[in-house]
């Protein structure tokens, strides 16, 4: 069965008081078949894991260092995240690719480190508005998928999130046709990358980029869209829960 996942990315938001927003999500998703993940800031991961214990909700991180340990002031390793109970880690988010100049090779190393630690990496890919306007969207994403993903033959060990950079936090979304085209393209790339295994066909592909309760039903109806990576709307239960329910019913 294809894994369906809704993942919230709190980014650099949230204090201990924000954990109360998780409680309604826990209560409402107890009978869900879809997986529900919230990636909090590092400072909240340990407390959030305690908060969700015994529920369907799991807690992930937003980044990790590619090495297990060393003189890397301010960084956190995948092993450290796994030790405190995180299940997933986002790698290669466009904000880190842009603001921290992260390359495909670095993203691949981080994702590999996550796998080695027993975490599921959510590898983000996506084009800029300039790329799309130049007709290069498929080529850009092709390079990111081929060069950013580790070699993982088994299904369920990695997740891909397609986030068109120009749609993140802008309120703009691609057309349903554009989303379907890109997700089908990513699926072909995954099957190509993982030949002879079910991994390429069953690797979840999430859509991210201004996902709201108003557009989630249409987005989740597209072929090869296995869930969503939700930014701002995941910070408040009243915004996040409707999106979770839409995926569960899709």
Residues catalogued as catalytic: 93, 163
List the end-to-end C-alpha distance of the chain, in Å, as a whole number.
Answer: 14
With beta carbons less than 8 A apart as the criterion, state whether 26 and 55 touch.
Answer: yes
Coil vs helix vs strand at 227: strand
**Backbone phi, psi, residue 102, to 5°:** -75, 130
Tokens found for residue 71: 């003189």
User: Which of these, 138, 133, 129, 131, lies nearest to 166 by C-alpha position?
Assistant: 129
Tokens found for residue 176: 């349903």
Q: Find all residues with CB under 8 Å of 196, minimum gap 6, and list them.
A: none
**Backbone phi, psi, residue 162, to 5°:** -90, 115
- CB atoms closer than 10 angstroms to residue 126: 26
How far is the C-alpha of 60 from the C-alpha of 93, rounded, in Å? 14
């Amino acid at each position: 069965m294809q894994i369906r996942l809704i993942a919230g990315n709190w980014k650099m938001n949230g204090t201990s008081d924000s954990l109360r927003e998780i409680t309604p999500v826990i209560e409402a998703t107890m009978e869900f078949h879809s997986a529900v993940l919230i990636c909090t800031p590092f400072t909240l991961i340990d407390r959030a894991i305690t908060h969700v214990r015994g529920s369907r909700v799991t807690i992930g991180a937003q980044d990790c260092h590619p090495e297990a340990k060393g003189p890397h002031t301010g960084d956190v390793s995948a092993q450290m995240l796994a030790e405190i109970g995180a299940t997933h880690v986002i790698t290669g988010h466009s904000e880190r690719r842009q603001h921290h100049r992260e390359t495909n090779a670095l993203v691949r190393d981080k994702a590999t480190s996550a796998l080695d630690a027993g975490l599921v990496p959510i590898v983000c890919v996506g084009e800029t508005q300039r790329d799309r306007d130049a007709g290069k969207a498929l080529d850009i994403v092709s390079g990111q998928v081929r060069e950013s993903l580790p070699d993982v033959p088994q299904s369920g060990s990695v997740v891909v999130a397609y986030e068109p950079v120009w749609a993140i936090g802008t309120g703009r979304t691609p057309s349903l046709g554009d989303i379907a085209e890109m997700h089908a393209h990513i699926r072909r790339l995954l099957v190509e990358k993982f030949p002879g295994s079910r991994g390429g066909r069953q690797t979840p592909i999430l859509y991210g980029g201004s996902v709201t309760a108003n557009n989630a039903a249409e987005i989740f109806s597209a072929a090869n869209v296995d869930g969503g990576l939700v930014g701002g709307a995941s910070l408040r239960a009243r915004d996040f829960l409707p999106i979770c329910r839409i995926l569960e019913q899709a």
